[in-house]
Amino acid sequence: MRIATTIFLTDETITPVRLARELEQRGFGGLYLPEHTHIPVSRESPYPGGGDLPAEYGRTLDPFVALGQAAAVTERLVLGTGITLIAQHDPIDLAKQAATLDHLSGGRFTLGVGFGWNAEEAADHGVRWATRRALGSDRLALMRALWADEPTAYDGEFGSVRASHAYPKPVQAPRGPVSGPRTLIGGAAGPKLFAQIARDADGWLPIGGGGLTEALPKLRTVWEEAGRDPEHLQVVPYGVVPGPGKLAHFAGLGVEEVVLQLPSAGEREVLRALDAYAAYL
């Protein structure tokens, strides 16, 4: 099982370069970074974790810039977003960012996408909350038109692009209906999410990994009914706090990668956490 990590990198934490080097030197398999462009002060959306919103949500580094630094100082580390708030991006710009990072890292980029919980943040990007999932799927389809080998036009519900020259191309070859970087979709288990994963992604990025015993058979059924190869489904529990038996349980379910949660903290505290997590490598 590949052991990756995630952390809210901010202007007050360990740097991307220092963390990436330490992860690769210690044998960890990946670094995934979350995204929030800003946190409106007068917000109404409750924090999903309960209580007050942690300060790091309003201080996160841009994940693509930070992962670019990490790519430059590593050779094997998987570099991912967990998650990119895809509805909040211009899809033409995002397609260029993702393809560039994948190209420069030699195909090590994983595009984790999601649809968010903070309605006020999304609204400042012009996103209508009720349509954010459909918007996200439309933007992903437009991005894949730009990633195609030949100039390909796209005319969708929310956006369009002319047949265009757009390089670099992502490294990974198409997988069924999916092309571009390895793509995982985050979100709570449910038929709508599972249908979207089977249509648009390589797999699922469930936060915490709770309830997988019940959810995985349902996802596999939807996946196979969509004509996808059951051997290619990837499920990556995300933001996991490891405990006795937890990783063994995931392995028993066929999970091949897990993303452990690091504290959003300075160098000394983060390195202590890596020392503790080394027992799971």
Query: How many Cβ atoms from other residues are within 10 Å of residue 112's Cβ?
Result: 28
Look at residue 176 in the predicted model and tell me its pLDDT: 87
106-to-61, 170, 176 alpha-carbon distances in Å:
23, 9, 22
Which of 176 and 276 is assigned the larger pLDDT? 276
Look at residue 43 in the predicted model and tell me its pLDDT: 82
pLDDT in tens, 184-240: 999 999 999 999 999 999 999 999 999 999 999 999 999 999 999 999 999 999 999
User: What domain range includes position 149?
Assistant: 2-280
Query: What residues are paired with 154 via a beta bridge?
Result: 161
Alpha helices, DSSP H only, in the chain?
16-26, 63-72, 91-104, 119-124, 132-147, 191-200, 212-225, 246-252, 267-277
Count up the domains in the chain and report the number. 1
Task: Report the phi/psi class of residue 136: left, alpha or beta, with left for phi > 0 and alpha for psi in -120 to 50.
Answer: alpha
What distance, in Å, lies between the first and last C-alpha atoms of the chain? 8
pLDDT in tens, 152-183: 999 999 999 999 999 999 999 999 899 999 99
pLDDT band at 81 (very low <50, low <70, confident <90, very high): very high
Look at residue 244 in the predicted model and tell me its pLDDT: 81
Look at residue 186 in the predicted model and tell me its pLDDT: 97
**Selection from 35, 87, 81, 32 nearest residue 59 by Cα:** 35
* SS3 label, residue 141: helix
Query: Is 235:212 a contact under the CB 8 Å cutoff?
Result: yes
| 42 pLDDT above the threshold of 90 | no
Any idea what DSSP says for residue 46? P
Alpha-carbon torsion (249, 80, 5, 30), positive or negative: positive
Look at residue 38 in the predicted model and tell me its pLDDT: 97
Burial label for 93, CB within 10 Å (0-12, 13-18, 19+), is exposed
Lowest mean pLDDT among 12-21, 25-34, 44-53: 44-53
Query: How many Cβ atoms from other residues are within 10 Å of residue 154's Cβ?
Result: 19
* SS3 label, residue 6: strand
What is the average pLDDT value for the chain, to the nearest integer?
Answer: 96
* SS3 label, residue 116: coil
Q: What is the average pLDDT across 123-144? A: 97
- The whole-angstrom separation of Cα 74 and Cα 72 is 6
Q: What is the average pLDDT across 134-139? A: 97
pLDDT in tens, 211-226: 999 999 999 999 999 9
146-to-99, 103, 109, 111, 233 alpha-carbon distances in Å:
10, 14, 17, 16, 24
Kindly report the CATH number assigned to the domain that includes residue 184: 3.20.20.30
| 24 pLDDT above the threshold of 90 | yes
